Amino acid sequence: MRTHFPHRIITESLFCRNCRNVGDHGIFAREPFFPRSGTKKGVPLLCVCDHCGTFFVAFSHEFASIRTPAARPVYTKILGRNRLSPGDWLYMKDEPRPLKVKGIFHNAAEEIIVLKDTDGKERKVEHPYLKIEKEESPRGYRLFPFQLPEALLGDFIYHVPRNQFGSVVGFISDNAKDRVALLLDDDSILFITVPIAAQYLGNEKLERFFIEELREHFSPEAASFRILVRQGILFLQGNVPSFVRKRKILTFLSEQKLLRGVVEFLTVKPLQPVPDSQIENSVLRILEDLSLPIFNYSCTIQNGNVEIKAFCYSETAHALLEDRLALIPGIRSFSLRLEEHNSASLHQKSLSVARMLQEHPRLQGARIRVSGFGDSFFLEGFVTSIFQKRLAALMAFRYFKSLKLKNNLRVIL
């Protein structure tokens, strides 16, 4: 299992069932990604204890520190622990529920907070002004036990009945019950059982159910699948004839509410092998499509396994690219390593230079992407002659005088 997850993405403080303690865990992914740029929902990650090597699986959308498109978490600020802004939810002791902050005023000694009640009425709270130098969790806390079903690994929490702060350090399964592990401020570890409605069904029950479901929807290949379910996670092995088919199966499974997530080991075995050179041509044509928000790209292809590295300037790039690549016949797998870079001033300039090149009569038949980043600008795409390659560089140079040129234009005849 460990060899399938070679890329260490982050380190998190998590509960290890073998050490019976909280310690650093390496979070490993099958494909590298930058936590800052985020990743998709449902990406399986292996959490490996740095101390003893014991591991378990969690998913990208279950971590507070990884940005995924689905995450819209609700956090509540706590009086005395957080700096407040209008619009925040604020929890005060002895209040039945958090209230919305409308405004804050303070003088040297006192702070006056205007709050909005659930019935829309305003009220003021005055208390001695306390300057907060450093916030432990600037975005606030999850209120436990009410927000337990939405908790993410690494979330800071406030346990209301116990009046204690802590953080979420694990989702574990004991005696067939799903529990959330908390590390409290006094260094004790607390296990809270997840409400019955949010518990995952038993492993065998889920296995039987999904064997039937896959056979019904994905015949004939599903007959060869091997399925294992542990703690709401489905592990899937087998062969499929195409990448498109693999995606269909994974999309189907990702929509299943009964599962926490899927770890797949599906192998694509194309019915008719396609030469790498032909796949490369199709991949380059997609990368050269000017409507995709990418630049500074490179790709390698080996036995139908495609690896692409690129910069992008929109978080939609990953999904757009993946949708297009999946349709190429003969692809067995692909790895996309996109790094998000935004340079608004260079971007506008690049677009106008690209338009100018596009309209030039001597550059007919070419498709040229112009982009700038740092101290360089890039020319990518294709031209029909060496002359066009030089002309494009010369013309672009007039507008990017102080920048270095990376001319990656392909000459196709």
Residues in touch with Zn ion (CB under 5 A): 16, 18-19, 49, 51-52, 54
**Encoded tokens for 284:** 């380059």
| 60 contacts 66 by C-beta, under 8 angstroms | yes
Closest CB to Zn ion among residues 15, 377: 15
Helix axes 203-217, 243-254, angle to 10 degrees: 140
Task: Give me the least distance between CB of 5 and Zn ion, in Å please.
Answer: 17
| 153 contacts 170 by C-beta, under 8 angstroms | yes
Closest CB to Zn ion among residues 14, 294: 14
Closest CB to Zn ion among residues 2, 123: 2
Task: Give me the least distance between CB of 18 and Zn ion, in Å please.
Answer: 5
Which residues have CB under 8 Å from 196's CB, separation 6+? none
Helix axes 344-359, 386-397, angle to 10 degrees: 130
Task: Give me the least distance between CB of 61 and Zn ion, in Å please.
Answer: 24
Taking the C-alpha atoms of residue 143 and residue 156, their distance in angstroms, rounded to an integer, is: 9
Task: Give me the least distance between CB of 107 and Zn ion, in Å please.
Answer: 52
Please report, as a single letter, which amino acid is at residue 282. S
| 111 contacts 126 by C-beta, under 8 angstroms | yes
Task: Give me the least distance between CB of 146 and Zn ion, in Å please.
Answer: 31
Closest CB to Zn ion among residues 45, 143: 45
Closest CB to Zn ion among residues 49, 266: 49
Closest CB to Zn ion among residues 54, 118: 54
Closest CB to Zn ion among residues 189, 211: 189
Task: Give me the least distance between CB of 55 and Zn ion, in Å please.
Answer: 9
Taking the C-alpha atoms of residue 399 and residue 290, their distance in angstroms, rounded to an integer, is: 20
Closest CB to Zn ion among residues 56, 210: 56
Task: Give me the least distance between CB of 17 and Zn ion, in Å please.
Answer: 8
Taking the C-alpha atoms of residue 163 and residue 94, their distance in angstroms, rounded to an integer, is: 11
Which residues have CB under 8 Å from 389's CB, separation 6+? 383, 407, 409, 411
| 268 contacts 326 by C-beta, under 8 angstroms | no
Percent of residues in the chain assigned helix, strand, coil, to nearest 5: 25, 40, 40
Task: Give me the least distance between CB of 144 and Zn ion, in Å please.
Answer: 25
